Structure 1
Amino acid sequence: MRLLDTPIAGVRIAETDYRQDARGAFGRLFCEQALAPALQGRRIVQINHSRTTDVGTVRGMHLQRGNAAEMKLVRCLRGRVLDVALDLRHGSPTFMRWHAVELDPQNARLMIIPEGCAHGFQVLEPDSELLYLHTAAYAPEAEFGVHCQEPRAAIAWPLPVRGLSPRDAGHPPLSSDFSGLTP
């Protein structure tokens, strides 16, 4: 695995090498030792899997805050998605900026989203599946969300946004005085 920095501090991409032969392919999905510079002592405590059927569907933008703040590591196991991290950290030089990368099984990338950054994705191929590794357990009382079409973020989704859950569609616009989340 190789760790690549992005323009947003803490948002990183891990590239994985797959070995291929006539039988198929083999690659690591997770390696604590290789990811240690990004994890910085954090432990993976929960792993989730999602499957999204329809192209254009957006899930997100989500995070947990406070004592339940988490780092997420996201990998696409099937299909193809545009994966997005949005910096919501108070005082960050990249506050309200986003970074996106395509994830699919062939490019074998892993998006690393630190605490204070919201995460979401748009499905680019039918029946896309994501594997999420979390450094904190799910805590419903700590949930925070931003509408995927938040004007201040201006995320450039490649397809028309569709398929929002009632929860995601119901996120109100950020107030004009929202200055970010504090640890």
Structure 2
Amino acid sequence: MFQSLSDRLESAFKVVSGTHKITEINVAESIKEIRRALVGADVNYKIAKEFTDRVKDKALGTENVLKNVNPGQLMVKIVMDELTELMGGQSVGINVKGSPGIVLVAGLQGSGKTTFSGKLAKHLKEQRKLNPLLVACDVYRPAAIDQLSVLGESIKVAVYKEPENK
């Protein structure tokens, strides 16, 4: 899903990156593509509309101020700043308080849950000096337990699994 969104946003940025300056016309075209990309990634239409309206206002507010900046790069920066603001504005660390601290990772098939879980376990082990345990809970995909086991071995993190649940 994120790759698809990324590809569609990149396509939207190309609308303005091939120009010499930001204009109302190329911003409108780019905004339309950004809104479609967000809605296509299941972002609520109202949120996507408000987001793109803010991006449009900021982009058009810079058209006479920043003449030496590449329009494509400027649009990328504006969108990134607005996405950061939309997601809360600042980085918040993961809360693993409690004994044990539990993180449930849920998502659609093929969305990267297993890979993310491995990366999170590695981060918790190396950066936070914690002792994570990966628990194999996917009983529907036959290779899921094996995939998590291999991942756990590669990052030297324990994996709890019950092979008979495959």
Shorter-chain TM-score above 0.5:
no
Task: Name the TM-score, length of structure 2 as normaliser.
Answer: 0.29
Higher strand residue share:
1
| TM-score, normalised by the number of residues in structure 1 | 0.27
- Considering only CA atoms, is the larger Rg found in Structure 1 or Structure 2? 2
- Report the structure, 1 or 2, having the larger helix content: 2
